[in-house]
Structure 1
Amino acid sequence: MHVTPGDVATMSFDWGSIKWFVTPSRVPGAGSTLGEVIINPGRGHARHNHPGAEEIIYVISGEATQMVDDGEPFTIREGDTVHIPKGAYHSTQNDTWRPLRLIVTYTPGGEEKALESAPDFCLHEAGAVPEWSQAGR
């Protein structure tokens, strides 16, 4: 199956956005989830975990502070990969002025459904472009 960014919906949150390209609910027979995550400058997602799946993060571009399993936070940059074991608490914070672009996988897939219950969740149909506003204005 060939997927382009315009083929899939965009999830947006106050910290950024996600496009899930492969999910078990979208691709018949898929056992994992793969998507692109963008964390906006000065934003991040709070400490959380995925009890049913491990997560792998690959940094396409940008820099952030990553915490895994309540350990000491460390810097991640372009080309870095982070493995988050099933159930481990983690967070990512972009304190730079540039967007952070990540490829994220969940194994097994399906954990992306939990994001739909976030209070700041918004779903934009395929082809739509989310609008962002400057904080504090």
Structure 2
Amino acid sequence: MHRRPDDVPTMVFGWGSIKWHVTPGSVPGASSTFGEVVINPGQGHDRHQHPFSDEVLYIIEGEGRQTVGDGPEFAVTAGDAVYIPMGTLHSTFNTGWRPMRIIATYTPGGAEEALRDLPGFVELAPGEHPAWEAVKPG
């Protein structure tokens, strides 16, 4: 199966967006989830966990801070990979001036469905693009 970014919906949040290219719910026979996460400059998501899935993050572009479990916060940048065991609290925050782009996987897939219950969640139809406005921090 071949999918382009405009073939899949976009999950939009106050901190950024996600395009899930492969999920068990959208690709027959898929057992994992694969997608691209974009975190806007100066933004990030709250600590959360995926009780039934391991997660792997691969930073494509940008720089940020990452937490995994009770360990100390650490810097991440393009080329870094982060493994997050199932049930482990974690968060990612973009510390740079450009969008942070991350490949994210869940094994087994399905953890992405819980994101629909987050406050402010919006889903854009395939081919629709999010519009961002500049907000001065503070």
Identify the TM-score tier after normalising by the shorter chain. over 0.9
The residue that corresponds to 2:70 in the other structure is 70
Q: Secondary structure at the match of 2:47?
A: strand
Separation in structure 2 between the aligned mates of residue 47 and residue 40 of structure 1, nearest angstrom: 17
Aligned residue pairs, count: 137
- The code of the aligned residue for 1:86 comes to M
Separation in structure 2 between the aligned mates of residue 84 and residue 96 of structure 1, nearest angstrom: 22
Percent identical = 55
Separation in structure 2 between the aligned mates of residue 120 and residue 96 of structure 1, nearest angstrom: 24
* 1:36 partnered with 2:36: yes
Q: Secondary structure at the match of 1:47?
A: coil
Separation in structure 1 between the aligned mates of residue 16 and residue 93 of structure 2, nearest angstrom: 11
Q: Secondary structure at the match of 1:104?
A: strand
Separation in structure 2 between the aligned mates of residue 12 and residue 53 of structure 1, nearest angstrom: 22
- The code of the aligned residue for 1:30 comes to A
Kindly report the root-mean-square deviation, in angstroms, between the aligned alpha carbons of the 2 structures: 1.1
- The code of the aligned residue for 1:125 comes to A
Runs of 4+ with deviation above 6 angstroms: none
The residue that corresponds to 1:104 in the other structure is 104
After the TM superposition, which residues 1-137 of structure 1 pair with which residues of structure 2 at under 5 Å, given as runs? Answer: 1-136=1-136
- The code of the aligned residue for 2:31 comes to G
Shift of 1:136: 4.5
1:8-48 CA-partner distances (Å, limit 9, x unpaired): 00000000000000000000000000000000000000110
- Structure 1: gaps of 5 or more residues: none
Separation in structure 2 between the aligned mates of residue 10 and residue 126 of structure 1, nearest angstrom: 7
- Structure 2: gaps of 5 or more residues: none
Separation in structure 1 between the aligned mates of residue 130 and residue 109 of structure 2, nearest angstrom: 25
Separation in structure 2 between the aligned mates of residue 44 and residue 67 of structure 1, nearest angstrom: 11
- The code of the aligned residue for 1:60 comes to I
Q: Secondary structure at the match of 2:87?
A: coil
Separation in structure 2 between the aligned mates of residue 61 and residue 134 of structure 1, nearest angstrom: 20
Separation in structure 2 between the aligned mates of residue 117 and residue 55 of structure 1, nearest angstrom: 19
